[in-house]
A and B are shown apart, each in its own frame.
Chain A
Amino acid sequence: MSRPEGIQLMEGNHACAWGAIDAGARFFAGYPITPSSEIAEVCARELPAYGGIFIQMEDEIGSIAAIIGASLSGKKSFTATSGPGFSLMQENLGVGIYQEVPCVIVDIQRVGPATGLATQPAQADVMQARWGTHGDHSIIALSPATVQEMYYLTIRAFNLSERFRTPVIILGDQVIGQTYENIKLPDPSSLDIIERIKPFVSPEDYFPYQPDKNGVPPMAAYGDRHIVHASSTCHDETGYSNFKTQTNRALLTRLKDKIYNYTDEIVDVEHFGPDHAEVTLISYGASSRVCKYVVGEAEKEGIRVNLLRLISIWPFPDRIVREALGKTGAVVVAEMNQGQLIGEVNRVNATNTPVYLASGIDGALIDPDIIMAAIREALK
């Protein structure tokens, strides 16, 4: 098969694979797991034609390890999985963050913990994406709500990973991954693609972890004459081990600042519905689709409801959510879990606005009635 032209009926997982290929991904390593396997299947079939390589590793620990390795060798790389595999990836996710390796990890969420309702949708890996790997760290995570958005957000995930030299997570879910919708892949030449910054000094003067003015070190690849020493041990700008407390402090601070000082550049939200509302829904991914429906249903009942849809989840859009809280009578956070992102909403709730949870844990797309019930509760 070749690149789909024109308007196509496509599932989210396929759109993800094409987004990656169009972003320049040339290496995929993965381990099969429903509901993400189609991403691997498209890569296995399509990557060779682009000079790329697909490999099915022995497990997800090996998969994330392989994409980190390939990225250091200069290839844009990614993997895709679901909850159990995402759990196995956590240790090496930290390695990728610490060594500042651009790569993309797609988590098509399903119901957990453990095997749970395998293959049924959930959004319960949100906090795992944030804090799953041990130690202080920052993370970027994006949450697509449509098949077309899956395509564009995959490209954005690669762009952000290269721009910030860090792993980026796509928090999809079974609904987005396996729903078929009409989409159109754009002309690849029309896309803005970010490539990693190469060193601009001679090999002798190159320190692989010497940051640029924005805190991100220019990145040579294995095989270049600029020698790269990538270590999961505390290191200074040379990349070699350095156990001084001030080195550790400087590294942890830079890794945080290089992302959090640029939160506004990363944050992406959609405001839907009337400017001013009695109740504001805050949601993301598949749940936010239901929220859009609920906004219309509520209007029919004469209730003014709007939606703040988070397209990027991490870093959390503190300022925007705080503003939304300050402008509304009450907030309903709609998510397919027992309440995860609602904790972040409460954290930034400077106005003590009442916050309610609409929790969908039925292994299906969240029921609009659950959200309506939360709205009615909020209006009591």
Chain B
Amino acid sequence: MAVNLGYKEYFKSDALPLMWCAGCGNGIILRAITEALSDLHIPPHQVVISTGIGCWGKADDYMKTHAFHGSHGRALAFGTGIKLGNPDLHVIALMGDGDALAIGGNHFIHAARRNIDITAIISNNFNYGMTGGQYSPTTPLSSSTTTSPAGVAEPGFDVCALSETCGANYVARTTAYHVTQLKRFITAALLKQGFSMVEVINTCPTHFGRRNIPGDTVSMMKYLKDITVSKAGYEKLDEADKEKYLVTGELVNRERPDYLSVYREMNPGGPETDRGEGH
């Protein structure tokens, strides 16, 4: 019997130290993903990590599974081809908020609508980390960023509501602070057939934190705790207070048939054939 390496079967330990800033939560999400894969005993060669471009998009360099690192915003589009090319694969798309929802917003809504069997894990740090802290489609209204010195004039997306409306089978929100919940949601998302999305509210102490949250890396992490509330806690809030918080928890968990199942039912066709053997 081979020794159980735990998360190290998936995590490329020899690539340490990580390239991310002190107090950046990306490593926490990465740890949760590799722990979840280990708990589920999914063989590394049956996993493809498809990353976007951004700080979180660098995560593929720390994975021992199959990986794809393509262009900004397109992780789900590449992932769609990867999944349809080999439906046995577990395809996990890792995207920043800018990557998934600005430049990649179109692919995001259509992947969810199709309900393609991919797990999207979005690191939502409320800004573009990699390019120096510009505002993103999730930056809260009036926050200061390098491209909104006077405050962002646009409201941010509710990523979970968007995913639900578009048709995702599994939608959950948690934070880089809530590490056990994080691992639990990722595990559930990996098990779910159809499109699953875990939004991880994340720290970017270097940019969003420095401009909006007084204090250090620890204050940034505490901020994640402060702005979130559980589903049960949220229900008890006054309507006026609800706006101030982001709900954490499993927000959607349903069983719509996934894209490929529906396609195959409508196009039974033949088995995979070599050239010329079809009719």
Q: A residues touching B (Cβ–Cβ < 8 Å)?
A: 2-3, 21-24, 26-27, 29, 46-53, 55, 57-59, 61-62, 65-75, 77, 91-92, 95, 99, 187-189, 191, 193, 203, 221-225, 227-233, 239-241
Supposing A51-B269, A92-B74 touch, asked if A223 and B86 sit within 8 A by C-beta, the answer is yes
CA distance in complex: A49, B264 (Å): 11
Q: For residue B62, which residue of chain A has the nearest CB? A: A240
Q: B residues touching A (Cβ–Cβ < 8 Å)?
A: 15, 44-46, 48, 50, 53, 58, 60-61, 64-71, 74, 77-86, 88-89, 106-107, 110, 260, 263, 267-279
Chain B residues closer than 8 Å to A22, beta-carbon distance: 275-276
Q: B61 contacts A240, CB within 8 Å?
A: yes
User: B40: shortest Cβ distance to chain A, in Å?
Assistant: 17
User: B67: shortest Cβ distance to chain A, in Å?
Assistant: 5
CA distance in complex: A149, B122 (Å): 47
Q: B86 contacts A74, CB within 8 Å?
A: yes
Q: A231 contacts B279, CB within 8 Å?
A: no
Chain B residues closer than 8 Å to A46, beta-carbon distance: 278
Chain A residues closer than 8 Å to B69, beta-carbon distance: 230-233
Q: A75 contacts B85, CB within 8 Å?
A: yes
> With A55-B80, A72-B81, A230-B69 given, can you name 6 additional A-B contacts, CB distance below 8 Å?
A22-B275, A61-B74, A66-B81, A66-B84, A222-B66, A231-B60
Q: B68 contacts A27, CB within 8 Å?
A: no
Supposing A58-B107, A223-B86 touch, asked if A91 and B80 sit within 8 A by C-beta, the answer is no
User: B186: shortest Cβ distance to chain A, in Å?
Assistant: 20
CA distance in complex: A46, B270 (Å): 10
Chain A residues closer than 8 Å to B65, beta-carbon distance: 227
Q: A69 contacts B274, CB within 8 Å?
A: no
User: B175: shortest Cβ distance to chain A, in Å?
Assistant: 28
Please provide the 3 A-B residue pairs with the shortest distance between their CB atoms, ordered closest to farther.
A73-B85, A69-B81, A188-B276
Chain B residues closer than 8 Å to A50, beta-carbon distance: 269-270, 272-273, 277-278
Supply 23 A–B pairs (Cβ within 8 Å), ascending by A: A3-B278, A27-B81, A27-B85, A50-B277, A53-B260, A58-B110, A62-B77, A62-B107, A65-B70, A66-B78, A69-B68, A70-B84, A71-B81, A73-B83, A73-B85, A73-B86, A99-B70, A222-B68, A223-B45, A227-B64, A230-B67, A230-B68, A231-B60
